[in-house]
Copies of this chain bind each other. A is one copy, B any other.
């Protein structure tokens, strides 16, 4: 069983419509609030060598990234910290606070729990004008497929390229880019935290179209043989870039550094260089 199998279990219980986007949404006066929650913990997410401050930073960043992927501006974070060692707490909270400060959010609440290993669950709230809310649905045939930044760097560190430590240890959510892309009217968006391949399969599952990538257009981590770098970009986890579809006439979006990596196709399949893209990436697994 993997995350996506289990998501089907959840859909049957709480309704498919509550499981489709990076964030849930609800109306708030004349705006839309988006809300998301993410669980991270030591053995899976906080790799050896990461400081408490970095664990806190990462915990806030992954949540801010989900908010950004809806075109929303982050407002509030709540942070529940399960602690094996109480001395971690200050560092974790300072890291989360500093990440929030950088990206315009504020910590307004949380919980402290005694736990067998450091476990941090951040819940993030953002706000967006209804007309600028972006979802995973909405991709149109003929749209460009684009990605911000350089995917694959976090996985490159995990695979031994330690020059990419910052990418994995201190991810920078694309908050400003998400707002600009939302205002520009991109057609669909999500973050690529489980890798480009799984993200495109996730997008395909809620749209009626498919995607075709050109691997030569992929921005890849520098200093790594191309075939390996391409695989890192397509299948690696731990990145927090935004992957989006956009009508060709709207690209590029001023102030957003992004690369066209393919196009939206009528056939419901994900291709790279004309052949089916493997459906693999960062997943939790249970036996």
Using a CB–CB distance below 8 Å, which chain A residues touch chain B?
1, 3, 6-7, 9-10, 13-14, 18-19, 23-24, 26, 28-30, 33, 35-41, 43-44, 75-76, 78-83, 85-86, 89-90, 93-94, 97, 106-117, 119, 121, 123, 125, 284-286
Chain B residues whose CB sits within 8 angstroms of the CB of A97 once the complex forms: 13-14
Complex Cα distance A135/B4, Å?
A: 41
Return 10 A-B CB contacts under 8 Å, by A number: A1-B86, A13-B97, A18-B109, A35-B78, A35-B108, A35-B109, A37-B37, A83-B286, A114-B284, A114-B285
Complex Cα distance A76/B23, Å?
A: 13
Which residue of the partner chain, among B9, B33, B111, B116, contacts A89 with CB atoms under 8 Å?
A: B9
Complex Cα distance A127/B206, Å?
A: 31
Asked, given contacts A13-B90, A80-B38, whether A114 binds B29 with beta carbons under 8 Å apart, the answer is: no
Asked, given contacts A26-B108, A37-B121, A108-B35, whether A113 binds B80 with beta carbons under 8 Å apart, the answer is: no
